[in-house]
Chain A
Amino acid sequence: ETGVTQSPTHLIKTRGQQVTLRCSSQSGHNTVSWYQQALGQGPQFIFQYYREEENGRGNFPPRFSGLQFPNYSSELNVNALELDDSALYLCASSWSGAHEQYFGPGTRLTVT
């Protein structure tokens, strides 16, 4: 059974640029959620995708957007990067209807 994978591991971008982060869900999982973890904080929910549609969104601006593909993998796109977007971005997959979510190793984004 393959776990959740994310790419890239690390990324450095300049303020104002755009970034795309990628996630492959655990085998058999059809729901993907994205979280942002700032330093010293717990993960914060960005949005969730189920059956290729957004299925809930946290308190993040529209410049945070996502996609889910037919194979349940997902992308997180962030436009017009700001310094405060520097964080660990975590992807989690789960079965539809299950509470337990399984996380990937994350992508560390640094905005300079």
Chain B
Amino acid sequence: DQQVKQNSPSLSVQEGRISILNCDYTNSMFDYFLWYKKYPAEGPTFLISISSIKDKNEDGRFTVFLNKSAKHLSLHIVPSQPGDSAVYFCAASPWNSGNTPLVFGKGTRLSVIA
């Protein structure tokens, strides 16, 4: 039973355009969400996060949107660059405090084409 779902295994986007990566969750106890980027032969790198008390968080080219009623979040990358090509993981944290395990989706492989 997957609690965090990334239904698109892969996505291709042209350089300079917007990349939108989607994530759905089922557990209503999740209240903090994170996105990680992973290159081959490296560990996941923290990208951006959002608390359930917000619906948007922005950091440079990266914006995360949260729709609590739909249990859906998305990561927008604008403009996309070839260096953004990686696997992106959505993760959720079950309680409103730290020191809790992260629950990950299966990831979406983003390819940015020059």
Partners in one complex: yes
Which residues from chain A sit less than 8 Å from chain B, CB to CB?
4, 6, 31, 33, 35, 40-45, 48, 50, 55-56, 58, 90, 92, 94-106
- Which residues on A sit within 8 Å (CB–CB) of B107? 42
Given contacts A90-B44, A101-B46, A103-B44, contact A42 B100 (CB under 8 A): no
Q: Are A56 and B44 in contact (CB under 8 A)?
A: no
Q: Are A104 and B99 in contact (CB under 8 A)?
A: no
Which residues from chain B sit less than 8 Å from chain A, CB to CB?
4, 32, 34, 36, 41-46, 49, 89, 91, 93, 97-107
New contact pairs (17) apart from A42-B91, A94-B98, CB-CB < 8 Å: A35-B104, A42-B104, A43-B44, A43-B89, A45-B102, A50-B99, A56-B101, A58-B101, A92-B102, A94-B99, A96-B98, A96-B99, A97-B97, A97-B99, A98-B98, A99-B93, A100-B49
- Which residues on B sit within 8 Å (CB–CB) of A31? 98-99
* Complex partner residue of A56 from B97, B100, B105, B106, CB under 8 angstroms: B100
Give A40 to B108 CA distance when docked, in angstroms. 10
CB distance from B92 to the nearest CB of A (A): 10
Q: Are B45 and A43 in contact (CB under 8 A)?
A: no
- Which residues on A sit within 8 Å (CB–CB) of B100? 56, 99
Give A95 to B97 CA distance when docked, in angstroms. 11
* 9 residue pairs from A and B, CB less than 8 Å apart: A6-B43, A41-B106, A42-B4, A45-B101, A92-B102, A99-B100, A101-B46, A103-B36, A104-B43
* Complex partner residue of A42 from B41, B43, B46, B105, CB under 8 angstroms: B105
Q: Are A44 and B104 in contact (CB under 8 A)?
A: yes
- Which residues on B sit within 8 Å (CB–CB) of A105? 41-43
Given contacts A42-B89, A42-B106, A43-B89, contact A100 B46 (CB under 8 A): yes
CB distance from A12 to the nearest CB of B (A): 17
- Which residues on A sit within 8 Å (CB–CB) of B99? 31, 48, 50, 55-56, 94, 96-98
CB distance from A89 to the nearest CB of B (A): 10
- Which residues on B sit within 8 Å (CB–CB) of A101? 46, 102
